[in-house]
Every structure is written in structure tokens, then in C-alpha cells.
Chain A
């Protein structure tokens, strides 16, 4: 189990993430989403014990991950910026991980090589970005970790390899107690892999819920009013992405509390027809990012 407790990380006077708390149960995957520079990688590095936190802590099975060699024996971190020993072959790098992880499974490593059709004696420096990713995933799974921290792990993979990787992760997680935190910009990738997601916005975790709950807690509405209604009347409601065209209004509502508030408010309005639909993960992300989008609209006029 991974527990992130009141995590704050500052770089000098700049606060990267502030007071973030969530937990990842055994055999579950936590998807971390957020705009570029939101602090996802920072959070993962804190969890991996690379960065020292300014406040709060990250516990792996109840033990602080920072500079804890014993607990980190069960941790594998795939960074966005991968490192391979200079001039190393696929097998050479495997030897490195085999040396560093007692649990390294050579048979599994060889099986996975066949799955991805990678040559043992191929030099890693000659690999494309996607092939390097595949190699890194092979190393990670071969180490049979209890905790995996995956930073943009699908970046550079083709759709077929993405699917293979996703299935491999799911299979491994199902077979083991591995807790995974995965960050990605491809929200579609996360939707089919994670059971929980967290959204970092403005240094804080603004969404932290079960993927299944997203549909229940976050909805988009298309409302047909019996007469045209001024936009101002709807703007006071806790809605996002509000668009009004004559008697038709569309908006997103995030969170169950907000849903209740909006449903109550609608009863006082001349609604002819109301059509709710669940929000996708991507739509939730975009709704949360609405402030930034507005800024862009202002920039480009």
C-alpha cells in the first residue's frame, strides 16, 4: 500500500505541490493527471524517495520511502527521462537490475523479451523512444516490485504495444499485491487501467476518486428551457463549461454535492427537458482546467 500524506514539496521559494494526500491500496492502480508542470513528476519522485519532502511523507507499506533502502527494494520507478548505462545492451542492463533487485526474475525477463520481440544483445542506445520504453517496462516487471511508480510510461508506445503493456500491468497487478501510481497525459490510457484517479490542479489534488465514481459524480447536462434564459442566471450555479444558445444550455457539473445543488436549482427554472450524461475522464480533466482554457481564449482573442 502506498500512502501519500499531506505532501508538500518546494523548490526554493516555489511550491510545486501542496498538502496532497491519497492512498493506493494493494493490487490497485492510481492514475495521476494534471496539466504540464502541475507536479505529477515531483509527486512521483517524492514517492520514489528521490526528493526529500518539505512537509508530509510517503509511506510504502507503512514505512517512509525517503532514503529507505530496505523498503525501496520493492519499488521500481520508471521515470519519464529514462537512464541506461552507456553502451549497455538489453541483457547488460538486465544484469544491472538483477544485481540491484534480488527479486529479479530472469525467466520472466526472457519471456517478456519475446513478447516485445526485443533482442538480448541489442544496444539500448540504438533503440527508439518506444523501444526504450518497452525495455524499461520489461525491467520493471522482471523485478517483480511491490510498488511501481510509472511516469508517462506509455509515452512513445504504439497502440498495439500500449495494449500489450496495459494487459501486462493488469495481469501482474492482479497476480501480485503491487500498488501502482501512474501519471499520463493520455487520459484514455488511464481510464482503462486505473481504478482510482487523482487530478493535480494548482499544486493541490482537486480530484481524488474511484474511476467508477466519475460517471456518478461528474455529469454533463443539456438543458432545454421553455424560453430563452440569461446566461447570468446559470453562471451563479456550480457549473463548468457553461454554454447558452437561446433556450438551450450545456454545462458540466463536477462532484456529487454540486450535482445536488444544480438539480435543486433547476427545479426553480423553466426547464422543458434535461438530458444528463456521464463525463469521460478527459472531460473531467478539461472541466477542471477550464480556468487555463479561458486564459488561452483571452490570449488568442
Chain B
């Protein structure tokens, strides 16, 4: 006789064990260590909410304080490795195996620990990919999540930074896993129910807000003339001709420059209403001037951004907000939106090779992918047409039957030919390959594969890879915008000029752009203070970004 309720029974045991340390669903902070020990089993698959931005920091440090003699061999499945405690769990031998997506602030330490054998790596995923596996073969036994407030029944209010929580809870709770939430406070009635209490087994009142990383704030004061030039090229050479209305911007100063040029340079080109009307995007402070000038109709967000809460709440026509007035973000939905409903992704990278593969991995840092590969890939399952998608598809395969031709998502890599500390953007061989062989990985961690990239923008010009007909043309198109890097100086000047004549490579002068016009005075805001003023005082930047 099979027993079809073993998982239910196991959950029952965990609930009973946890109940001994709780009043109803509420676990008092002093009981947290004993509580965690009683509900977590060695070998469990645990999702510790480590998102791109918000962190269940109290639960993370409690987990890291468990005794490895009592609890060990945990398999951590979480999108973000952000806090030091996330890695302490491995350092102490409480956890062994890791599947994750993004590790920005811990990129150097995670690399050292992978080399040192402290972590057994499953895979580095994109967000959607990891979320998908939560429902197939990486379903958590225990989820430790973060919210703003809870009532005594466990109904959760996640506030502007909802991010991954609904996905994690859905996968865990409906498959007999245990869900524990840390909340800032317990209230009589939550401002809105983001997670129904039925799915939440225990709550811990932390007494202070969870940690949130301000990831999407770029200070306009740091934007250079060269970055402004790349932004002018992108707007006039890509946004305008393709009529890109639905898009996602990566993080970085080049895309921040684009956002700040829309109400000035973009306005002069007559592009208002014709480009950049719908975004899958975190609330970037640098987008405030364009929003205020009426450029943007709608934005769906993966998460929020520190300091933008009041501004977003005051612009419900643009952002998705709840009945409480504050932002509702959702990473899984927004990633899906960015993948299927956007016609363009544009973002920066650290290295591009001669085929057009790009990577943010350097030999000493493993930052993971986050969502960029989801945004920056051509969705083969897309079926709805749009002007930019069809135009890009036609450029890639001009001879084919239009009715049977797939469109193409525009995937644009933008950057200066030399990056920080004069590191060249273009390389013969990606550092990701060294890393893969050193760690014996089956796959090199590539951010955007060459067959997904459609354009590369540098200060030297735009390379349209859709219009390259063979490997040789592709290589010369890349060399042709690689400036004075070794890759750029080794170009075949004749072939590059031929590509330019065909419009595969377009220089600033081909687009009627004088590089000397790339002036900081074109920026709609030149400081964080300008952004605050443009928001009518609603944007409240964190202290470290202020100069007033």
C-alpha cells in the first residue's frame, strides 16, 4: 500500500515542532534560534529570501547561527546571494549545495569559496529559469521570506518590494513546504494582502525593516561626455528608426544617460510618444524627468528602488500600485513581461568577444546573471507582431517569406570601448571561459549569447549584427566599433568601410551627430538633487547619494 500523504505528514511534524516555540503563528525573536532548529532538517532544500533587492536579513543571520553538528547539508535555492550571512551558511558547513541567480555584492567571495570547494554549485541561473525550477525539480522544503507587515493570521503585506515573494510562496506552500516570514511589525490589519495567510505558517516580528539594496540609482553627476555620445547614438540610430516603444533598460550609466536625454535630445528629434512609452523597469530615479515631461505611459517593475516609494505612489497612472497606494512589484511577472512583451533590451556589459558573446564575469568575480539574459534574449515562443520586431526580423532574413518569418527582439549592448581602469570592452577570449575551465563547469557563464545580440553601440558607432551575412562580416562589424582596443586596431579597414557603406556600421557623422555636441548640458538632470527637484520633492534619495 502506497502512502500518498508523506509530505503532508512531514509538514505536520514541522508545524507541531515549530508550534512549541510560537504563540499561534507568531514566533517571538528570542525563540527564533530554537524555532529554526526545530523546523529545519538536515538535507532540506531551503529558499532563503535573498532577492535582487530585499533581504530576509534576520532569518539569514539566524540560519547562519545554527550549529552544523545539528543541521547540515542544506541545499540553498535562492535568487540572490547578497548578504555576507548568505555565504557564512556555507563557510560554517550548514549548507553544501547552491543554486542561484545573482551575487553582485558577494561576487568576489563566492568565487573564492567556489574555488575553495566550500560550495557545491548546482548552476547559475537566470531569474525566470530558477523560478521555473522551483516548480519542477528545485521545490523548497522551507522558505524563509521577508515582508513589511503581517496580521496574526499570517496575511502578509510586502509593500513596494514584493519582488520574488509570491513565486517562492506559491512553489513552497502548495507543495507541502513550510513558509516562515520575517516582518517589520505585526498589525491588526495589513494595508493590503499580498500573500494570503493560509500559505504562511509562521511570522517573526523583526522590529525593524528588512535590508534593501539601492541598486538602480545612478548619479547623473558621474555621467561622462562619452556616455552621452553613446546615448545619442542609441536614441537616433536605434530607438528612432525601429520606433521602440516597449523596452527594458539595464543598469548602468549609458542607459541612465539615455533616460536623461529623452526630454532634451529626444524631444528635439520629435520622438515623444513614438519611443519609450512602455517599460519593464525598476523605478529608476533617472527616468523621473522623462516621466514628468509626459514621455512614459506605463511601467511594470521587478522591485522598487530605495527613496522612490513616495514618487511612485504619487504617479499611479504610470506605475502598478495597490489599493494601499504603494507600488506592487513582482519579479517573475516583470521578467516574463520583459521577455515577451518588450521589443528591446539595452544594457552594458564588461566583455564582448569577436563573435558577439558577452559576459560580466571576470576571473576573480562571479556576479551571476540576474535577469539580463531573460531580457536580453530572443523569445522563440513569441507570436504577436510589432513594428520593431518585424523590422528586425526582416533585416535578419530579407529574402524569406514575410508571413512565415519570425521577428527579432532587439538586444543591444552599449558601452565605451574602454571601461573602468581602462579595461577594454572587446576581447579575443572571454574571461568566462577561463573560469569555466578552472571550475570544471559544463557551460561558460555567458550573459548574452552572440545569436541573441542584434546591435553593439560604442562611442565609435553602431554595429548592426542583424545585417551581417557571415562570420567574417560579423567579426569586422564588431572590430569596426571597437575603437582603439587591440581588437579595434586589428580591423580590416577596407571591409569595415564596405560594411559602413551598407549601413551595417554607422558612425556618428553618418547619423548627423557631432561628437562635440555630446555635452553634459544635454542631460535633463545633472545631479541627484536635480532629480529630487524634478520629482517635486517626492524622490528621497538615501544619504550616500546626496550632496546637499
Report if A and B associate in a common complex. Answer: no
